Every structure is written in structure tokens, then in C-alpha cells.
Structure 1
Amino acid sequence: MPTRTTAPLPTRVIPPHHYSDPAIFEQEKARIFRRSWMFVGFADDLGGNNDFITAEIAGTSVLVQNFDGQLRAFHNVCTHRGSLIHLKPCGNGKPVCPYHGWVFNRDGVPVGIPGNREFFGFDDEARRRLALPRFEVATRGRFVFVRLEPGGPGLDEQLGAYGALLDHLSALFVEKIDENRLPWAANWKTGVESVLEVYHVDATHPETFKQFTKKVWNCAYEKEHSRGTTHLSDGSVKWWDGVVARLGLPRSELYRNYDHFFIFPNLAIGLTHGGLMSVQTYDPLDAERCSLHFRLFLGATSKPQTRGGPVRRAVEDNLRGFNARVLDEDRIVSEAAHHGMKQMRQPAVPGWCEERIHAFHDAYLTRMGE
């Protein structure tokens, strides 16, 4: 385990009240979530005409829709009476409000208004004034991002060197084996912090993640983002080598430990021995709640005969079960930390074994203008 004894600890730490103050949450929405490129889903769900995905970005419902091969992003709220337009996380269908049947085109303009002549009398200009607010949308590999507020750096600039990472992962991890949204009674920052250090592993994950890794890690930084590499236990390496050979799974030659990447403000990507990808976002719901949205991916097998077989099913069940146990353990301690943070009067004191926490706090406070 690396130790730091000579350098002073950074002093910029997020104040306790930032984890539960509704006024601070409103500032976060304006200064962080509206101005950042936010990961909203995968291009896998947007391959055909009229395919769509929806997402919540700090209280703003977003719709990304494929119009004849072109992706466009809008506010997913009808300008007539405020109903959500698409109600599902993903699917296929034109943007039609389920409340009164208003139909919106690729520019977000309502082109189909039942009873327009009799009840509204909207001409073309009036329809254009009722267009859905439009957001910026961009992709890197299969990862789809939306920015609510225009201006600022492009997606590639925000990602920096991690853009190439997303390209690499997009080409490799193409088979989704699990996805879910889990409600956490904790601030989104508390959720993020639960994945940025391994100091908590012994106490929080004694029967799960502790058995999976060694007490060795290395950290690196890219702009507001960070990477932590934790060495796998010998037993984990042996198990993964066997699974890869038995099922014919591809894996990354670049990442062979437990490689964890964090893309500010709330996207976490974990790679296990180059063979499994976990993608997680800690989506804020309000000052005291977030939703953990996770997806698990494997690579496309070179032995298609194993797909659906008993060994493949057993491996997938093992991975899903392990992931569920670890995330539930993180939820329990994150909710405990959130509850306790509301009673603290002094800032937290993360040590060098939690150095990625310091980087996250520094990026957050800079964005918040503090």
C-alpha cells in the first residue's frame, strides 16, 4: 500500500453543508451539471430512425432521438401542458406527447397539434415559438453525451486523453449483461467518493472486494478526471484467465488489473482484468438523494457456441451477483456517511490513501467558484 509522509495534505475540502443544502444543489445544477458534457447512454440504443433514449440531468429530463441517422437532443417536456414526451428509458417512436398527442419534428417544432384550427389557431411562427428547447449532443465511441448549456469546450477537449479510452472501450465491450437504476439516500458526491478510493475496502467489503484485490494501487490525473489502478489478487487473475479462455472472450491488452476511471462530474468506469467493463453514473435527484445507474459489459465472444450455455450463464450470474453485493455495501456506507455528514461542523479529513478524493474536491470547488 503506498504511503505519503513528506508532502502536506491538500487543504481544499468540500464543506459538510454542501452535501445536503438545497441552495448548494441549485448552484451545482447551474455551475456543474448544465455546463458539463454529461454521459446519458450508449449509441447502441440509437442505431435506427426514431430510436430514442431519455435521461435525467440534475432535474432536467433529456431526450436524444435519431432522426434519419442524425442525433438531436431536446428537453423531454411538451411545451403545451408540461407532460414528459417519451416515458421510457429507451425505445423507438416519434416524439409524440402521450397527454394530448402533440407531435414534434427534428427541430423540436410541434408539427402535429390535434384540433389546432379549432382550438389554438397557431400559424408556423407560433409553432416555432413552441419548439422544444434544444441541447448539444456529441458522441465519443459508443458513449453519448449531452450538454444543457451551450458554449465552452467541446466534448473531446473536456475528455482530454480519456477520449481515446472511450474509443478503445467502445470497440471492445459490446455485450451488455446487466443494467439497473438503484435509489440511494445519499448526495451524489457521497456516491462518487465511494468509488474513488480503496481505503474503505477492508471495512466495507471484507467478503467481496477485499478478496478480489491486493493492497497496491496507483493513481493518475487528467484535467478534472482521475484513474486508480488496483492490483488483482492471484486468485482473481487465475479465475479471469480461465473464464476468458473457456468462453473465448476478448479483453483489453492495455488494462489488466482493476483499472478505474472517473470522468468529472459523475461518470465512473471500472475494468476488471481487461475482460469486464462496469459503467456507473451517480445521477443527482436532489440535495439528499441520487440514483446509481450501472451497466455491465463483456466483449463479443469468439466462441458463439458458448453463448447461452451453462458456463456462460454461470459466469454472468457470478458477475451480476458480485456487482450487486459490492454496490449494496457501498450504498449502506454512503447513506450512513450522508446522514452523518449533516451533523458535522468541521470538514472531512481524507488522507493520502484517498488522494483521488482530494482531486475530486479540488475540481468541484473550482467549478463552484470557491
Structure 2
Amino acid sequence: MDDRAQQRQLPPLPTTVIPPQRYSGDAAYAEEVAKIFRRSWMFVGFADDLRNDNDFITAEIAGTSVLVQNFDGELRAFHNVCTHRYSLIHLRPCGNGKPVCPYHGWVFNKDGVPVGIPGNREQFGFSEEDRRRLALPRFEVAVRGRFVFVRLEAGGTSLDEQLGAYGLVLDHLSETFTDRIDDGILPWAANWKAGVESVLEVYHVDATHPETFKKFTKKVWDCSYEKEHSRGTTHLSDGSVRWWDGVNQKMGLPRSEMLRNYDHFFVFPNLAIGITHGSLMSVQTYDPVDPDHCNLHYRLFLGETSKPQTKGGAARKAVEDNLRGFNVQVLREDQVVSEAAHKGLKQVTRPAVPGWGEERIFAFHKAYLDRMAAE
């Protein structure tokens, strides 16, 4: 049977996609920041970094610097910008310390109020009411499993409602993958949507990843959908299965019984989670910087070994180095084509034409366009 006959047997493809003009330009970017990134529960980090009093994490949500701080066991989220002269308060991605502005030493409490102002009487004479007016803007914070989310604009659905059935997935992943082995950021010269699209399909694998991901999987791709989110599952190659079985046995790594292949989850708008052989978790966010740039923040996790004697050993280190190197190589290959696509998107007006190997892109585009149409 020739290709044309095979094509005629395929069901019709969706036709609605994001127009190229939405991938650049300040006006389009400002609108999606207002309608998507400020209204969505955004993944910002892991509760692992917030276990103790005064532990904190920081994140950028489409141009807004956010801090999440542990105040004696209670997590609260604030704008990470001092209300005095607008310095960032916490300068590190995570750490332990009270919210103290490094510029002039203003100290903020769990309500975001500046309770410590050096030389207040001589410099300002602020009353208690004045201090309350200078409180940091507060954001909503919620945790599912070990995944921490922040929402900039109050109101709307709860985190559990936004996640739907994927909330249970995050619970399971949080219990299984406890050992972080890598955490890094790659700046991409591409719109965040172009970055997201690079992980939602396998059609590009042969051309983009001929020596890496292509050898890692078979040509099987099953997709399913949950609210605005999606899942894609592909089978690992026989060689990959043998390698992982050997690693699991030698290192005593746990394996998820729910996720046995390469299972990839996407949580709208920009969180991607890949599970390999039930043994490795990759967590990625495509964080917008401006219309033409995003930061790819990646993290890798293994489960806790049942053979503690292997932890820190040469064999374990070699496995972790292998996984880190492979992951970064694949991401850099995606970076090249995403940046090339971004340049091309700025030169055309005709919408793209994804095929069935890219079907999750249609779901992503629909969720995006629905959000943009909302008032």
C-alpha cells in the first residue's frame, strides 16, 4: 500500500493551532503572562528544600520573582522584591535564612511586613500602619506530594482541581523519586511555547536525536489527555531495558510499578515530567523570560537505593554521570532545533501543520487558545 493510501485511512487531523504571530511580540507576550502565567498554579520547586524553619526557594514566573519561605512549618509565598528600594530579597535559588533585604537590611515577617528597619526612627519614622502598607505582596502557595506550586493571581480553581487525575501521579512520583542527582538551567533563545513543543512529540526524534534518544526507544507512541494536560508513552529499546535492569539490580534502585516504559507527562502550561523504566525522573520547566527567550530548568531524580553501600561509590557516580550527560545532550539537541524554529516562526504567517506523531501539540495549542480567549 502506498503512502497516499495509508494517509487516506487516517482520521482527520485537528486544524486549530497557535498562529505564528503568538510566538513573538511584546503585546502577545504580555497577554499570555496576564491570562496564563498569573492565573495558573505554576510549579516552582520541591518541598525537599523547604523542610526547616527559614528554608526558602525562589523562582521566576514570567518576570515576577517569587520567594517561598518556611515560617516555623508554614509555607508562605511573596513577591521577592523589597518594598523600600526594590532589591531582590533572596538572591539564591534556595537556602536558609530570614527574608532580609541585602541592600539595606530590612527584615520581613511571615505576613510580609517589614518588622526590622535599620534606623527607622531617624530615617523614616514609620508607624505600625505605615509598615503594614509596605508589606510584600503575597501569593497563593500549595503543595502536591513534594511538588510546590504558586499562583500569582488569587482566585480560580484549586491546585487539585487544576491537576485533576495528575495529582495522584505527582503523589506517586514524590514517593518514588527522592534522590536529586542534577539541577540546572539552560538559557534558550526561543519562545517558551517553541520549547514546550519540543517535548510533546516524537516525530522529530529520528532527525534531531539520531545518536541519543532514537536509540533509546521504539517507534511506539500512545497518547492520552487529562483536562489541559497530556501524557505520551513510548516503549524503550531492548538495549535500554537491559541497561536499566542491570543498573537497578546492581544499585538496588526502586522501580515504579505504575510506569514501566518511557512515560512523559505534561502539566499545562510549562511543566514536563519524563519517567524512564520506572527508575529515573526528569522534571523540566520552560520558564518565559521575554517573547524571544526562555530558561529550561531541568532536574533529575533517582529513587532511594536499597543498597546504601553503593551510594557515593564509583559505580553509582559513573551511572549518575552517564545520566546527567545524556540528559543535557538531548536537551541541547532540542535547544538547537527549538531556536531554529523560533527564528523561522518570526518570518511566516501561515500556521504550522503538525501530524499524528505530534498530536499532543494540538491539545497544548487548544488549552493555550482557550486561555487566551478567556476574559
TM-score, scaled relative to structure 2? 0.97
Identity %: 78
Give the superposition deviation at 1:3. 7.8
Distance 1:184 1:303, change over 3 A: same
| Structure 1 counterpart of 2:70, from 44, 66, 70 | 66
Among candidates 241, 251, 257, match of residue 253 of structure 1:
257
* Counterpart in the other structure of 1:50: 54
Q: Which runs of 4+ in 1 moved over 6 A?
A: none
Q: Which residue number corresponds to residue 334 of structure 2? A: 330
CA distance in 1, matches of 2:218, 2:11: 25
1:268 aligns with 2:272: yes
Q: For residues 318 and 146 of structure 2, what CA distance do their matches in structure 1 show? A: 28
CA distance in 2, matches of 1:6, 1:205: 26
Tell me what 2:240 maps to.
236
Q: 2:87 aligns with which of 79, 83, 91?
A: 83
Distance 2:238 2:7 in 1: 23
- Pick from 279, 282, 296: which aligns with 1:278? 282
State the partner residue of 2:155.
Answer: 151
Q: Which amino acid aligns with 2:36?
A: I
Q: Separation in 2 of the partners of 1:313 and 1:119? A: 55
2:295 is matched with which residue? 291
Corresponding residue to 1:208 among 188, 192, 212: 212
The 1-side partners of 2:122 and 2:183 are apart by 46
Q: Deviations over 1:284-334 (max 9, x none)?
A: 000000000000000000000001112111111110111011000000000
Q: Distance in 1 between matches of 2:331 and 2:62?
A: 22
Q: Does 1:191 align with 2:202?
A: no
TM-score (normalised: structure 1):
0.98
CA drift of 1:348 comes to: 0.5
The whole-number CA distance in structure 1 between the counterparts of 2:318 and 2:292 is 37
Matched residue of 2:218: which SS? Answer: strand
Partners of 1:36 and 1:342 in 2: CA distance: 27
**Structure 2 Cα separation of the partners of residues 124 and 7 of structure 1:** 66
Structure 2: distance between partners of 1:125 and 1:7: 65
SS at match of 2:230: strand
Q: CA deviation at 1:5?
A: 3.7
Q: Which runs of 5+ in 1 are unaligned?
A: none
3-state DSSP of counterpart to 1:220: strand
* C-alpha separation in 2, matches of 1:222 and 1:297: 24
Q: What is the CA-CA distance between 1:4 and the residue it aligns to?
A: 8.5
Task: Name the residue aligned to 2:322.
Answer: 318
> Shift in Å at residue 245 of structure 1?
0.3
Deviation at 1:7, TM superposition (A): 2.3
Contact 1:54-1:63 within 8 A present in 2 as well? yes
User: Is the 1:4–1:352 contact (alpha carbons within 8 Å) kept by the matching residues of 2?
Assistant: no
Per-residue deviation at 1:10?
1.1
Matches of 2:244 and 2:93, distance apart in 1: 32
CA distance in 2, matches of 1:225, 1:275: 23
1:34 aligned to 34, 38, 51, which one?
38
SS in 2 for 1:215: coil
Structure 2 equivalent of residue 173 of structure 1 = 177
Q: Distance in 2 between matches of 1:211 and 1:353?
A: 18
Cα separation, 2, equivalents of 1:209 and 1:303: 29
Secondary structure in structure 2 of the residue aligned to 1:216 = coil
Where structure 2 has 5 or more consecutive residues not aligned to the other structure, the ranges are: 1-5
1:269/1:279 contact within 8 Å kept: yes
Distance in 1, Cα, partners of 2:10 & 2:103 = 63
